[in-house]
Structure 1
Amino acid sequence: MPEYNVLERDRVALLTIDLQRDFARADSPIRASGVGGNTPNIKRLIEGFREAGKPILHGVRFYRPDGSNVDLCRRGAVEEGLRVLMPGTRGAELWDCIKPSPSVRLDAESLLAGDMQQIAGREYVFYKPRWGAFYGTALQQQLETLEVSTLVVTGCNFPTGTRASVYEASARDYRVVVGSDAVCDASDEALRELGRLGVYQMTTEACLAWLKGMRTATAA
């Protein structure tokens, strides 16, 4: 039988989810669990993909002050004054430690309009209006342009944005890898369940070794 789910190193890209300051700062009401412990591995994955010249796509959120584009579960809070992920604010920017250059700033209005912002040679940012990276975005078109078949996924908020993005990618027949030690707030049980979708798990070390063509064990 043909193996349709085999990872393709030559056609791989890294997808990051919600790596924004408001999800990481200590005093934030939407701080993601496990950010501190996972940040070094997330940073290593991103740097490894840059060094390999592979595409990187960052999915980010913005909340308009009037709440008009906010998820229903948070819309009331934003309407009543919750100020997080506001377009143009520092809280909505990418983590400083993962930027390709300290001078990178997000063009919120262009992103909200659905454009891809190129922040380095093969590195892009896009706005996602809901949890998943594919819903209402140009991500799939960009991946097709880049001839990507395999996605390595890392990021914050595993129970919401990261897991939704994995399911959406699987539904579109992408071969998917989750950085098992490079996602925030993911339980062992939740990660194991992804195996039923044919999703692979790799530690950061194993993923970077695989990216370089070295033999390493993986777990599906």
Structure 2
Amino acid sequence: MIDLDIDIGRTALVLIDLQNSNVKRDLAPYTAEQVVGNCVLLSGEMRDRGGMVIFVRVLVDQMQLPPADAPLRKPGAPAPPPDASLLAPDAQVQAQDIVVTKRQWGAFYGTELDQLLRRRHIKTIVLGGIATNFGVESTARAAFDRGYELVFVEDAMSSMAADAHAFACGRIFPVMGKVRSTRHVIDALQAGTGDA
């Protein structure tokens, strides 16, 4: 039984930070290869149905580094390699996909993402990417505040620690939207039923 109805014309797949700097990380509970593989399956299904696919990347060399107890990149650390901010080739970005560039964790602040979605009358965002409790969660919170309906693809995202991923997917995301597997979302897309 499909309990997720997706209106393809009003839904966008938004994939966060599937870029070289992140796919080289040790992730849990899913490896980068698993996450990227599931994102490729989702983006293929969306494209096959004429859906909107958006890849978001962060310019890691332009992110602010305010004082923090445990910064992801310590002040004074060597600059990231030149290809760190490029989307990973395995993500299989296509010419018809939209690429949004950001300079912070979340994909809404200081970008054109909200305008792109509203011009297409998008009401539902399907989210995946790296990392669950950083870029994905920051983007989700901003989307929720703007009134978008959210579908979180649990096995199309991962983090640097399994417990951080589990907490976001088990405690935060169910309050903001629907948490489903890649298979579940693809089944719903293939069923092609109704509204999200």
- TM-score band, normalised by shorter chain: 0.7 to 0.9
Partner of 2:143: 169
- 1:75/1:161 Cα in 2 relative to 1: closer, same or farther (>3 Å)? closer
Structural mapping, 1:28-107, within 5 Å: 32-33=27-28, 34-64=31-61, 69-72=63-66, 73=68, 77=74, 80-84=76-80, 89-100=82-93
CA contact (8 A) 2:20 2:88 kept: yes
Number of aligned residue pairs: give it. Answer: 180
TM-score, normalised to structure 2, is: 0.80
- What displacement does 1:211 show? 1.3
CA contact (8 A) 1:45 1:208 kept: yes
Any idea what SS the aligned residue of 1:92 has? coil
Q: Which has the higher contact order (CA 8 A, sep 6+)?
A: 2
- 1:71/1:137 Cα in 2 relative to 1: closer, same or farther (>3 Å)? farther
Task: Report the AA paired with residue 144 of structure 1.
Answer: R
- 1:191/1:46 Cα in 2 relative to 1: closer, same or farther (>3 Å)? same
- What displacement does 1:178 show? 0.5
Larger radius of gyration: 1
Name stretches of at least 5 consecutive residues in structure 2 with no aligned partner.
none
Name stretches of at least 5 consecutive residues in structure 1 with no aligned partner.
1-5, 102-119, 216-220
CA contact (8 A) 2:108 2:142 kept: yes
Query: Out of 163, 166, 188, which is 1:188 matched to?
Result: 166
Same amino acid, percent of matched pairs: 22
Q: Is 177-186 or 6-15 further displaced after alignment?
A: 6-15
CA distance in 1, matches of 2:93, 2:23: 18
TM-score, normalised to structure 1, is: 0.72
Task: Report the AA paired with residue 191 of structure 2.
Answer: G
Partner of 1:17: 16
Across the aligned residues of Structure 1 and Structure 2, the Cα RMSD in angstroms comes to 2.5
CA distance in 1, matches of 2:182, 2:73: 38
Q: Does 1:156 align with 2:149?
A: no
CA distance in 1, matches of 2:119, 2:152: 23
